Amino acid sequence: MSRTELICTSCNSSFNLLEYYHCPYCKGILEVRYDLDRVTASTGDAVKQELQPFPFSPGVFMGEGNTSLIRAKCLEKKLGVARIDLKGEFMNPSGSFKDRPVAMGVKAGIHFGHKRLIVASSGNGAAAVSAFAAKAGMEAVVLVPESTPQEKVSQSMFLNANVIKIKGPYSNSFTLAKILAETESLFNVTTTFINPYTVEGDKGAAFELHDQLNGYWPDQIYVPIGAGPLLVGTRKGFMEMASLWEREYTPRMIGVQARGCSTVAEAYERKEDQVQEVVVPKTIAGGIGDGLQGYAKDGTHTLSHIRKSGGNAMAITDAGILEAQHELASLEGLFVEPSAAAALAGLKHNVELGKVRAEDHIVLLLTGHGLKDMASAEMKKDIPLVGEHDIKRIMKVIKGS
């Protein structure tokens, strides 16, 4: 390969960097490939500048990326693991990791001359597209399932997006967005694998981890997944850096799903190559409740990356996810939504199975802020109301008497 181009992951056909949503020959997933022999870079920042789809600028759009890496010493002690780092993807401008792929998708839409964007989303992608469209002076059409948390719907509406609720699971919104993009003048920035340019934004987490850890790569990276583009994009970034610098090792990618929507995890456990769709997902973790109905190949693509990395996939109960959400708050001071907390729940599961060594270095990608989905954070305990001068009563409350 002598240039940057799109490659079909199924039939290996190649195409110019044009407006494609799938391979025109076999309908396979497209991804951006680079002529790595022509890329010369010695630092993570330089690599990030070069390994983005041309001619789309890789520059920061609204401050996305460069999220904090937080050492989790309390969790290290509790789980008996040498090092655990928490990548704060909820610190992105709209409150979730979706800002990374959406920024790249919006740049592609601008390049292709579009004025209107469409996205199918369970909430985080909707908010991201709404924000970036507003910044770019574009119209955002947002399709969300009727079960989407009101916090996410309100955020998108306040950002002046045209929000439409679609009956049924997320897959229904996905299908409608796909049809509208193909028949109307709308650029589809849905953050599955349908837009090959959005995944390039997901790679940013890998480049930043390289820089933040001074070139030392973690042993395992835990990623909450629905279709899985964040996991695939992160691994793609590490694979490209490994190829450039002739490093043999890349982190093992761990995909974490909710038991009520465990498309990839079930195929992994059954040792099957093909992922099957879930018609009616049932989980509190709506951000990863993607049943892949009509596009199970996305899950199959992610499963392949998990296995090639030497990682694994698992399904966690809603109770386990809520417990992890509480632990992140009470032990590390981080308020994340249930979907993000699934990463910690997955780590705990692997620790119990003996799949984590005491000396391992772990990274958890915390994908969305807790304010995005407040239903799980509602406290049953009454808040005491005390008079403005009643010091004695305040001290009784403090002492629990």
Q: How do residues 177-234 score in pLDDT, each as one tens digit? A: 999 999 998 999 999 999 999 999 999 999 999 999 999 999 999 999 999 999 999 9
* Half-sphere CA count of 331, side-chain side, radius 13 A: 20
Q: What is the mean pLDDT of residues 63-73?
A: 95
CATH of the domain spanning 69-95+199-376: 3.40.50.1100
What average pLDDT does the segment 373-398 reach?
84
Residue range 244-261: average pLDDT? 94
Q: How confident is the model at residue 332 (pLDDT cuts 50, 70, 90)?
A: very high
Give pLDDT tens digits for 275-313. 999 989 999 999 999 999 999 999 999 999 999 999 999
The Cα 281–Cα 10 span in angstroms is 27
- If you average pLDDT over each of 102-111, 241-250, 280-289, 340-349, which comes out highest? 340-349
pLDDT for residue 1:
44
For position 120, what pLDDT does the model report? 95
User: What residue spans define the domains of the chain?
Assistant: 69-95+199-376, 98-188
pLDDT of residue 121: 94
pLDDT at 353: 96
Selected residue with higher pLDDT from 75 and 280 = 75
Query: What local confidence, expressed as pLDDT, does residue 43 receive?
Result: 54
Q: Write down the pLDDT at residue 263.
A: 97
Identify the pLDDT of residue 59: 61
Considering only residues 170 and 53, tell me which one the structure prediction assigns the higher pLDDT.
170
**What DSSP state is assigned to residue 270?**
T
Quick one: pLDDT at residue 90? Answer: 97
Written as six digits, the tokens of 150 are 């009101």
Report d(CA 97, CA 87) in Å as an integer. 10
Spatial CA neighbour of 316 closest among 342, 352, 288, 354: 342
| Among the ranges given (17-31, 82-96, 366-380), the one the predictor scored with the smallest mean pLDDT | 366-380
CATH 3.40.50.1100 for domain 98-188, yes or no, is yes
Which of 229, 211, 369 has its CA nearest to residue 297? 229
Question: In the predicted model, what is the mean pLDDT of the chain?
Answer: 92
Fold match between domain 69-95+199-376 and domain 98-188: yes
Q: What is the pTM of this model?
A: 0.94
* Non-local CB neighbours of 61 within 8 Å, separated by 6+ positions: 103, 106, 107, 132, 135
Higher per-residue pLDDT: 398 or 378: 398
pLDDT cut 70: percent of the chain above it = 93
